[in-house]
């Protein structure tokens, strides 16, 4: 396949893509950021708790 044919096919396929609306992108991006923050806080809390428990176990 020649590069020109390849690029024509790529352009053809990209014209078939249904791109999301700006509102949907913003909503989904906010959802990902919020969920990532929640998971990060949860894992950070668990890590701190285990670190404290390990510290207590080592001291005794």
Q: Is residue 55 part of a domain?
A: yes
Domain that holds residue 48: 19-59
pLDDT at 11: 94
Residue 8 within any structural domain of the chain: no
Residue 48 lies in a domain: yes
Give residue 20's pLDDT. Answer: 95
Q: Cβ contacts of residue 20 below 8 Å, gap of 6+? A: 28
Calculate mean pLDDT across residues 22-32.
98
Asked if the structure places residue 23 within a domain, the reply is yes
Phi and psi of 8, rounded to 5°? -65, -40
Tell me the pTM. Answer: 0.66
Total domains in the chain come to 1
Q: How far is 56 from 50, CA to CA, in rounded Å?
A: 10
Residue 29 lies in a domain: yes
Mean pLDDT of 46-59: 95
Q: What pLDDT is recorded for position 60?
A: 73
Report yes or no on 7 lying in a domain.
Answer: no
């Amino acid at each position: 396949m020649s590069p020109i044919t390849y690029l024509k096919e790529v352009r053809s396929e990209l014209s078939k893509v249904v791109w999301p609306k700006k509102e949907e992108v913003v909503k989904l991006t906010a959802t990902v950021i919020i969920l990532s923050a929640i998971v990060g806080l949860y894992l950070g809390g668990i890590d701190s708790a285990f670190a404290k428990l390990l510290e207590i176990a080592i001291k005794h």
